[in-house]
Amino acid sequence: MAESRIKTAIARYAVSRERNVAELARIAYANIADYTVAVGPERVINLQAATRDHLAAVQEITVEDYKEGRGENARDVRRTRIKLADKQAAIEKLNRMFGWVIDKSEIGKPGGFAHLTDEEVDAVLMAELRARGLSERQARALLASDQSHEKSRSRRLG
User: Would you state the pLDDT for residue 128?
Assistant: 87
Arithmetic mean of pLDDT, 107-134: 83
Residue 89 confidence (pLDDT) above 90: yes
Residue 156 confidence (pLDDT) above 60: no
DSSP 3-state assignment of 79?
Answer: strand
Residues 78 and 121 in one domain: no
Distance of alpha carbon 124 from alpha carbon 146, whole angstroms: 15
Residues 7 and 41 in one domain: yes
User: Would you state the pLDDT for residue 80?
Assistant: 92
Residue 19, CA distances (Å) to 22, 110, 118 in order: 5, 42, 41
- Domain boundaries, position 141: 102-157
Report the DSSP pairing between strands 58-68 and 42-45: unpaired
- Tell me how far the alpha carbon of residue 30 is from its chain's centroid: 13
Domain final position from 93, 123, 139? 93
Distance of alpha carbon 108 from alpha carbon 53, whole angstroms: 45
DSSP string covering 80-118: EEEEE--HHHHHHHHHHHTT--------SSTTTTTTS-H
Residues 23 and 76 in one domain: yes
Domain final position from 72, 93, 114? 93
Residues 116 and 44 in one domain: no
**Per-residue pLDDT tens over the stretch 9-27:** 778 888 788 999 999 999 9
Which range is least confidently modeled, 30-34, 52-56, 60-64, 115-119? 115-119
> Which has more confidence, 81 or 125?
81
Q: Strand runs (DSSP E) across the chain, as ranges?
A: 36-39, 42-45, 58-68, 75-84
The number of folded domains in the chain is 2
> Binning pLDDT at 50, 70 and 90, where does residue 33 land?
very high
> Binning pLDDT at 50, 70 and 90, where does residue 82 land?
very high
> Binning pLDDT at 50, 70 and 90, where does residue 155 land?
low
DSSP 3-state assignment of 77?
Answer: strand
